[in-house]
Structure 1
């Protein structure tokens, strides 16, 4: 658990930098910003919507209507009524009962993202929940204290276990609740339906998905850069990135990738034709970068659109139909669209990762480069040079492909909640794997840059590079020196990986 020394400010109106929930749909970039520290507050419009919805719910409750999760238990206990005098106790017990997480603790960014997403979902204003509940998420975020949440426990039909752990902190329970209070937070006392509203949400999955998408998008851009420098190192055939390639097969992803690669190679001897290509046709891992990276881009674009829809939506059940003066149970907690889109995104990214791994292997093989095997500075020496770098690259690519396997077909049991909850999505696994896979892709791009820079130096082409590839070469050489005769690479690629993940990428 981490915290900051400064207490939460009691602010009635948002400051200029605060994200206001409810004025417009939340975007994935908003979630990422809140996960990394941006303030978030509930807007007036959302507060008014939630007030109307809550008034309608209280009328339903006063009438004695039977409503799932409001006047009854949940899951297999849906047949049992909640007596009025047990409502307060039931809220706390529901959170404690659903705290069934396992495994490692989630990174703080994951938890903050989940809290932002749930607050935004409540702000849609159909769940019958008081505005104070959404405020509780916002105010807890403002303390800088992050509740401890386990990574495992959700099967993607609402992230019950993770949201219960957050909910317990919000009511002041346990060490995490005490830490929030020490940070200036005032615990909330939950009313009817409100504990269920906290846990009955896929906010943990969607929050991670936002962070994973941002990381994966950076990874594809990083692989563009490493592929471009590899083309320079190979002295590849740049006909593969001619604008006509996308013109006659107009996939948007391929068009964007060709534009990126040409910008990276712009001004260099390879793209201008001053340096002729070594071969009429290169291995496919070099030749089909536009098509493969383009496919990854389109998969990520699709996934991003699905997540945007989810962020603008309510997954609540029940929801209040104010105009009809009643509550209905829904299936909007089923997050299949997001889970399937995350599977698609990983499959797309896997293609780009696979060819990056193959480019590393080809750069290390004299049959493809005309350079010494292992990119050795002394071709007569018995030293490995960079030869064994191939093993690490293959490991990264292999791990990434394993993470790309679809998870939405998994069905561990149909007996949960007495057979009622017989449908799952594994959405949190889908999101977490995309995040992990993108990290592996960034690392592999760093490995490829190390090899490509070595090939460029062995050819003596460093002065002939394009505008973007020169920047990539320079960034590589800041922390990864040329491996000379009788030397070995030190394997420290952390600084280069950080650069690839940052905002200075060409």
Structure 2
């Protein structure tokens, strides 16, 4: 990011995921650059001019969807926009976290900056006021089919503009009119096209995608760290991450994983132990870590490219081009690119989680000198036996959730909108997989630490020894049976609070 202060001016630049992450984390005071303001003003004036000329313009002086041939009186054009927002606010389910609503609003501002939606600076400034005063519209999770935009979620985001709905204020959900009264704000009157400009577009799906990618980026790197601890505890060979082996591959992501392992394993004696498999043929969940983790990285990198392009593109319809004196109608409201990407990510993350569970199983299986279920007096004690059941249950749920939503479509609006992306379903399926991933990785870490304690001849690498020592400050060695769910939760919290530090301090790629 060029701007490191507490202020950020939205420009016409291309925003990377890193840029967006910094903005969503630091929450600077937002404004629009002079160039962007000029584009927005010209775009809005163009819409007003054209609407006064009597031209038939969808969403300005017509009904919506299959009602596009119904002409609206000039005197009713503002009422049309008001009715559009309130009638489309049909979301159901839990209210999404404030962070996700904030992301949605920011990505909507990135669409507005082009000046192609017809929005006015009055609406843009009110969204900026929302952001800068921590008044964040609430959005129900479900209701979007991912084409014609995220109509329901974005309508809920638009309700506070006209004084309706609810908002996050100081971390609590309050009615919009209450928040407005405290701030001395009045509801806006939406002008021609503005209601449609608010609800049209896939900013809600894209916000979910960004939110997922920011966490999955941590997963794909920290998974190497956890797996390196499991590999040492299991006394694996070192040939599977030997750089020479990976000179035969044209997949750079595999090489990155192997290089991470070289770095993480340096100083360990895991491959010299008597318990090491002398044939070098470790189970696939260890031996194929570069191939599996590398493939997930490929999916992640692909997804980052697609989602970055989506959040920087205009998503609305119709689009206005004042310089060319053109109003063009098309499909820039369809979420297929993001929906397919989210489904691909769901499959990839499910695989990363599944191979983690497989390593957990191997550590429990009584091989390589480790006791059954990683407890000394097994039989009387069950040890970590049932923790693996939890991983198995979560992996099973992930497999169900990895079934693509985008392969389905349910026609809407009298077949005017006969193919939709279902990207919002893809989004919250992936969120479930992310939540499960945190537990499954934590359970692997729990088992790796327990196995390390039993592998008396093992010398950990200095990097992983540091992690192990810190982990043991939070979760004790299991000598006899106790309530393991407490340990799992401690391991999950430890992982979430430390993984970014590992990535940065150890320069994990």
TM over 0.5: yes
- 2:424 — aligned with what? 428
Aligned match for 1:389, one of 387, 390, 393: 387
> Secondary structure at the residue paired with 2:141?
strand
2: CA distance, partners of 1:213 / 1:182: 37
Aligned match for 2:80, one of 75, 83, 90: 90
Which range is displaced more, 337-346 or 291-300?
A: 337-346
Say if 1:26 and 1:308, in contact at 8 Å, map to a contact too: yes
Aligned match for 2:156, one of 153, 161, 165: 165
Aligned match for 1:437, one of 433, 436, 441: 433
With over 3 angstroms needed to count, the CA separation of the structure-2 counterparts of 1:461 and 1:470, relative to structure 1, is farther
- TM-aligned CA deviation for residue 461 of structure 1: 4.9
CA deviations on 1:274-293 (whole Å, 9 max, x unpaired) are: 78723421110111111101
For 1:277-292, what aligned pairs fall within 5 Å after superposition? Answer: 277-279=276-278, 280-292=280-292
2: CA distance, partners of 1:334 / 1:96: 22
- 1:346 — aligned with what? 346
2: CA distance, partners of 1:183 / 1:164: 24
2: CA distance, partners of 1:107 / 1:489: 29
For 1:459-498, what aligned pairs fall within 5 Å after superposition? Answer: 459-461=455-457, 464-485=459-480, 489=484, 491-498=486-493
With over 3 angstroms needed to count, the CA separation of the structure-2 counterparts of 1:487 and 1:18, relative to structure 1, is same
Count of residues in correspondence between the two structures: 487
Answer yes or no: is 1:59 the counterpart of 2:49. yes
> Secondary structure at the residue paired with 2:385?
coil
CA deviations on 1:412-441 (whole Å, 9 max, x unpaired) are: x32x11110111111112222223312221
- 1:122 — aligned with what? 112
- 1:217 — aligned with what? 217
For 1:312-327, what aligned pairs fall within 5 Å after superposition? Answer: 312-327=312-327
- 1:500 — aligned with what? 495
Say if 2:276 and 2:368, in contact at 8 Å, map to a contact too: no
Say if 1:375 and 1:455, in contact at 8 Å, map to a contact too: yes
2: CA distance, partners of 1:477 / 1:60: 69
Say if 1:212 and 1:432, in contact at 8 Å, map to a contact too: no
Answer yes or no: is 1:455 the counterpart of 2:451. yes
With over 3 angstroms needed to count, the CA separation of the structure-2 counterparts of 1:484 and 1:144, relative to structure 1, is same
With over 3 angstroms needed to count, the CA separation of the structure-2 counterparts of 1:371 and 1:200, relative to structure 1, is same
> Secondary structure at the residue paired with 1:505?
helix
Answer yes or no: is 1:238 the counterpart of 2:228. no
Aligned match for 1:112, one of 99, 102, 108: 102
Say if 2:275 and 2:369, in contact at 8 Å, map to a contact too: no
> Secondary structure at the residue paired with 1:479?
coil
> Secondary structure at the residue paired with 1:19?
strand
2: CA distance, partners of 1:260 / 1:435: 27
Say if 1:172 and 1:180, in contact at 8 Å, map to a contact too: no
TM-score normalised by structure 1 residue count: 0.91
> Secondary structure at the residue paired with 2:115?
coil
- TM-aligned CA deviation for residue 172 of structure 1: 1.5
CA RMSD of aligned residues (A): 2.1
> Secondary structure at the residue paired with 1:243?
coil
2: CA distance, partners of 1:324 / 1:266: 62
Which range is displaced more, 126-135 or 102-111?
A: 126-135
Which range is displaced more, 151-160 or 485-494?
A: 485-494
With over 3 angstroms needed to count, the CA separation of the structure-2 counterparts of 1:189 and 1:231, relative to structure 1, is same
Say if 2:12 and 2:114, in contact at 8 Å, map to a contact too: no
Which range is displaced more, 172-181 or 130-139?
A: 172-181
For structure 2, the residue ranges without an aligned partner over 5 or more in a row are: 167-174, 504-509
- 2:371 — aligned with what? 372
Which range is displaced more, 472-481 or 305-314?
A: 472-481
- TM-aligned CA deviation for residue 196 of structure 1: 0.4
Say if 1:384 and 1:488, in contact at 8 Å, map to a contact too: no
Say if 1:213 and 1:435, in contact at 8 Å, map to a contact too: no
Say if 1:222 and 1:442, in contact at 8 Å, map to a contact too: no
> Secondary structure at the residue paired with 2:217?
helix
Say if 1:350 and 1:400, in contact at 8 Å, map to a contact too: yes
1: CA distance, partners of 2:78 / 2:86: 13
TM-score normalised by structure 2 residue count: 0.91
Say if 2:101 and 2:136, in contact at 8 Å, map to a contact too: yes
Say if 2:151 and 2:200, in contact at 8 Å, map to a contact too: yes
- 1:16 — aligned with what? 5
Say if 2:102 and 2:136, in contact at 8 Å, map to a contact too: yes
Say if 1:27 and 1:311, in contact at 8 Å, map to a contact too: no
For structure 1, the residue ranges without an aligned partner over 5 or more in a row are: 1-13
With over 3 angstroms needed to count, the CA separation of the structure-2 counterparts of 1:360 and 1:276, relative to structure 1, is closer
